[in-house]
């Protein structure tokens, strides 16, 4: 297992290099630059700024300088935030994004898996139809549309929940509910399908014939064996939620990395764009590695050679 983990970590290096190269190329291929404003700056000031930040060098040399600095833990500075280090800005926003993402992950796992198990053990019942209906609605409604609907109902009409900001439990309810809606629906469908497949197996009928209680059969024999596809789905979901939602953070004015990324794109803040993209890539790669390791923990039959 340790050898597998080490090899996976080594594979992250070329992956991150490829992502950084593609991002850097696309970033510099877009028209405009960080100094393009409504009021055009004098050419002398633009030249001095380009020289200060190394933007007057060839693009290939800029990329090599970025990679070299990144290997030493320096992602550069932000052009639009008074030369603050990109790493410091990302970490400050990630504290908020991580809390929002973990709350959404916990909500999705709790409700989604519960609905899926409930639907599977009560197949073709009212509970099954209700779970499938909720999962279908959650999958069909875009999160930006759901956020506007929830704001209209609970903030505009009922005046029970705030719309913007972050820092209190009441401010977290609407963004967490919006962010977790689609993952909850997806996990419910995956759990239901996986549980139904397991419940049809011969060893489940054998366990029941031996006189085991329904709860013991459900937990020890059915649910544990149904976890592999559920864990597979949870990995990318958790990575996506923890790295933040650009739409949700923008709609609810949450100061997380997703909102920072939007502002950096609009401002052509090269350092923030590169830093945030690589940060997202690292989080997703680590989440996928954690999923693969969890496979072996859940199912001892899985071994990595």
Mean pLDDT of 224-237: 80
User: Which of 244, 246, 259, 274 has its CA nearest to residue 77?
Assistant: 274
Structure token pair of residue 121: 């053990």
* For the chain, counts of helices (H) and of strands (E): 13, 0
User: Which of 44, 19, 55 has its CA nearest to residue 268?
Assistant: 55
Angle at the Cα of 284 from the Cα atoms of 86 and 230, rounded to 5 degrees: 150
Mean pLDDT of 255-278: 82
Residue 46 has pLDDT above 70, yes or no: yes
Q: Does 228 or 191 have the greater pLDDT score?
A: 191
What string of H, E and C letters represents the secondary structure of 200-219? CCHHHHHHHHCCCCHHHHHH
Domains of the chain: 92-266 (1.10.3720.10)
Residue 59 CA to residue 67 CA, distance in Å, equals: 12
Strand, coil or helix: 123: coil
pTM to 2 decimal places: 0.77
Any idea how long the chain is? 305
**Residues 159-205 pLDDT 10s:** 888 888 788 888 889 999 998 888 898 898 888 888 888 888 787 77
**Residues 26-40 pLDDT 10s:** 888 877 777 776 567
Q: What is the mean pLDDT of the chain?
A: 82
Residue 303 has pLDDT above 60, yes or no: no
What 8-state DSSP symbol labels residue 167?
Answer: S
Q: Does 303 or 56 have the greater pLDDT score?
A: 56
Residue 299 has pLDDT above 70, yes or no: no
Residue 88 CA to residue 67 CA, distance in Å, equals: 18
- Which of the listed ranges 34-38, 52-56, 61-65, 280-284 does the model predict with the highest average pLDDT? 61-65
What confidence category does residue 107 fall into, taking pLDDT thresholds of 50, 70 and 90?
very high
CB 155 within 8 A of CB 161: yes
Residue 242 has pLDDT above 80, yes or no: no
Mean pLDDT of 262-267: 79
Report CA torsion sign: 117, 122, 123, 126.
negative
Which residues in the chain belong to E strands, given as ranges? none
Residue 100 CA to residue 257 CA, distance in Å, equals: 11
10-24, 234-248, 271-285, range with the lowest pLDDT: 234-248
Residue 2 has pLDDT above 60, yes or no: yes
- Predicted local distance difference test score (pLDDT) of residue 266: 78
The neighbour count for residue 81, using CB atoms within 10 Å, is 18
């Amino acid at each position: 297992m340790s050898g597998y983990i080490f090899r996976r970590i080594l594979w992250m290096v070329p992956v991150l290099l490829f992502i950084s190269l593609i991002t850097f190329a696309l970033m510099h291929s877009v028209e405009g630059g960080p100094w393009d404003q409504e009021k055009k700056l004098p050419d002398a000031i633009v030249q001095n700024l380009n020289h200060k930040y190394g933007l007057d060098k060839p693009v290939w040399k800029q990329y090599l300088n970025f990679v070299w600095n990144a290997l030493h833990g320096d992602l550069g500075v932000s052009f639009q935030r008074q030369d603050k280090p990109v790493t410091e800005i990302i970490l400050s926003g990630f504290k908020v994004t991580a809390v929002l993402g973990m709350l959404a992950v916990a909500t999705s796992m709790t409700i989604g898996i519960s609905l899926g198990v409930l639907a599977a053990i009560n197949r073709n019942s009212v509970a099954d139809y209700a779970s499938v209906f909720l999962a279908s609605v959650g999958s069909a409604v875009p999160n930006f549309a759901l956020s506007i609907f929830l704001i209209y109902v609970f903030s505009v009409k009922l005046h029970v929940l705030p719309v913007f900001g972050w820092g209190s439990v009441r401010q977290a309810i609407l963004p967490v509910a919006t962010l977790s809606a689609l993952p909850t629906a997806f996990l419910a469908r995956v759990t239901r399908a996986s549980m139904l497949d397991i419940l049809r197996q011969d060893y489940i009928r054998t366990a029941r014939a031996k006189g085991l209680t329904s709860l013991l059969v459900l937990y020890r024999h059915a649910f544990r064996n149904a976890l592999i596809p559920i864990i597979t789905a949870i990995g990318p979901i958790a990575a996506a939620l923890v790295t933040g939602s650009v739409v949700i953070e923008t709609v609810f004015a949450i100061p997380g990395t997703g909102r920072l990324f939007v502002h950096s794109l609009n401002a052509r803040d090269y350092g923030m764009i590169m830093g945030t993209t690589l940060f997202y890539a690292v989080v997703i790669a680590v989440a996928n590695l954690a999923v693969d390791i969890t496979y072996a923990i859940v199912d001892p039959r899985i071994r990595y050679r």
